[in-house]
Amino acid sequence: MAPQGRLITIEGIDGAGKTTLAEGIAAAWPGLTVLREPGGVVVSERIRELVKDPAVEVDPRAEALLYAAARAQLVHERLLPLLEDGRDVLLDRFVDSSLAYQGAGRGLGVPEIAELNRFATGGLVPDLTLLVRVEPAVGARRAAGDDRLEQAGEAFFTAVAGAYDALAAAAPDRIVVLDGARAPADVLASALHAMKLLQ
C-alpha cells in the first residue's frame, strides 16, 4: 500500500534553527509525529552514539554508510508504518543532510550518496522539505556561540551550504527555502504556510 501520511523534513546547516522550528511546528500542528536523525529507533540511536562520539574517528565512507544504515532502520521500523497508518511525520534532518554533508562537505559526491540513500530508504522522498537557510557564519555563531570559524570548518560549511542551495534549485516543488535570519516566529509562520499548501 502506498503511504498515506505526509513526510515533512527540515534541513539546513548546523545552527540554522532546525530543532527550534521543529519544536514550533510540533506545538502548532497537533497529531504530527516528530523524529530526529540519526535516531528515532534503538538501532539508529546506537549508531547516533557512535557517529556523534568525538573520541571515535570515523572514515567519511564509513560515516556515510552508518548514517544510511540508521536511516534504513528508521524508515523500516518507524516511518513507513506511521505513513501507512495515515500519520504525518516531521523529521529533523533526512536524506538531504547526507547529500550536503557527506556528498558535498566530505567530498564523496552527491550522486553517489543519493544512490546509497535510495537503497537505504527504498526510494522514500519527502512530500515537503523545509530548508532553513542561513549564512555559514550565522550558523556557526548560533551553534557554537562565537564568531570564529576555523579554516577547515569554514570550507566545509560553505560546501554544505552551497549543496543545500543547489538541491533547492533542482527540486523547487519539494524544497521550500525559509530565511532563517528572521525571528523564530516568522520562520515558523512561513513553514506553517508551506505545510498548509500541502494539504
Give which of 78, 68, 91, 84 is closest to 42, Cα–Cα: 78
Residue 39 is a binding residue for ligand ADP (CB under 6 A): no
Residue 184 is a binding residue for ligand ADP (CB under 6 A): yes
Facing residues of 34 across strands? 90
The piece of 67-75, 107-115, 116-124, 183-191 that touches ligand ADP (CB under 6 A) is: 183-191
Write out 164-177 in H/E/C secondary structure: HHHHHHHCCCCEEE
Q: Are 88 and 119 a contacting pair, CB within 8 Å? A: no
Q: Give the cell for residue 60.
A: 567519511
The piece of 29-37, 58-66, 102-110, 180-188 that touches ligand ADP (CB under 6 A) is: 180-188
Site string for ligand ADP, 3-22 (x = CB under 6 A): ---------x-xxxxxxx--
Q: Are 73 and 115 a contacting pair, CB within 8 Å? A: no
Residue ranges in contact with ligand ADP by CB under 6 A? 12, 14-20, 142-143, 180, 183-184, 187
Judged by the rule CB under 5 A, the positions of this chain that interact with Mg ion are 18-19
